[in-house]
Amino acid sequence: MDYCLWIIDNKFVGVSLGHDYCAEHEWGISEMKSLFGIREGGSKNMGIKSRVITTCPRSLIFKEEIFKKQKCAILFTQAKTWLKDVEIETLPNALEDYKSDIGFNIKYYSEHPQSQPKDPMVCAWDSHSFGVGVMGEKEVVYLKELYDAFLNENVAIATINLMPNNPFSNNSLSLLIVDRLPQEALDNMYNADKEYYSRVDYEKKIGMTKIKEKYGNKNGCDKLHYYMACSAKWIDYNDAINREKRKKELKTKYDIQYWINYSDDDNNSGWYTVEEIKEWLTGNKKLTEIRKAK
């Protein structure tokens, strides 16, 4: 499920805008957080507190429209932080044809019922902006409720995995109405932060933070050690027994592994052990050569 309307107990809670490209390339959403005045997170500021907006820029635009006798609406911002008080009427490129795109999706899924159904909407987002277009009576009402929540600073912007039990599921940027969130969602945010900051501390403890800072990327000048993403992930954060089993299978003594996306070889994206990353970044061999030698 790439994107959806969040409906919990027959109540509209917010919008998921689709899976997370930003994390894959380690871009994050820092510009978006700055735009909406979201406080910096930390080990002492975990959970919902580090996701709630504290301002709503005038560059957040909401429009209702009619398309082929259907009600439509779009909520979007293109503004970067230095444009946060400027209204921008131009739609994001990815959403210029949002009404016809939604119409096409509705027709396609009506003709292909075996495919996973989608909400009548399209979404786009990057590190500093987002857009959501919807079609339908209740969908337009939902989006207007979300816009009103933005105006009242009652929105949390978060990246959440909608299907945490699916190993192939990625995080999705979500716009959530704070006072409608169930306790389970609040707990998930807190637990996600706890896992993240524990992982950050672990990387520092084993020396990988310094190694990445000293040898990794080198301002893009060192092709041998260049990467678009070198992202750590716990091998199994919640199950110590399975973690030790997986560590033996992976032939690593560390509790984390790294996802690499594009570096010295277009074909080397994938999961690598700490030992492999350390040897690669501090040595003179390609990562693919190190893997083949194992």
Confidence of residue 76 (pLDDT cuts 50, 70, 90): very high
Least confidently predicted of 116-125, 155-164, 176-185, 273-282: 155-164
Task: Give pLDDT, residue 264.
Answer: 52
- Looking at residue 245, its amino acid is K
pLDDT digits 0-9 by tens, 12-62 = 999 988 765 444 434 568 888 989 999 887 888 888 988 999 999 988 999
Q: How confident is the model at residue 108 (pLDDT cuts 50, 70, 90)?
A: confident
Nearest to 175 by CA among 64, 62, 294, 25: 62
Query: Do residues 233 and 252 touch, judged by C-beta distance below 8 A?
Result: no
Cβ neighbors of 36 (< 8 A, separation 6 or more) are 53, 54, 55, 56, 57, 155, 157
The answer to whether residues 233 and 259 touch, using CB atoms and an 8 Å cutoff, is yes
Other C-beta atoms closer than 10 Å to the C-beta of 137 total: 9
Q: How far is CA 66 from CA 55, 63, 98, 181, in A?
A: 30, 10, 12, 31
Q: Looking at residue 286, what is its pLDDT?
A: 85
| In the chain, where the domains are located | 4-195, 206-293
Q: Is the pTM of this model over 0.85?
A: no
pLDDT of residue 172: 76
- Give the three-state DSSP class for 228: coil
Mean pLDDT of 56-83: 83
pLDDT tens digits along 156-213: 998 766 544 433 345 678 999 999 998 988 888 888 889 989 999 999 999 999 999 8
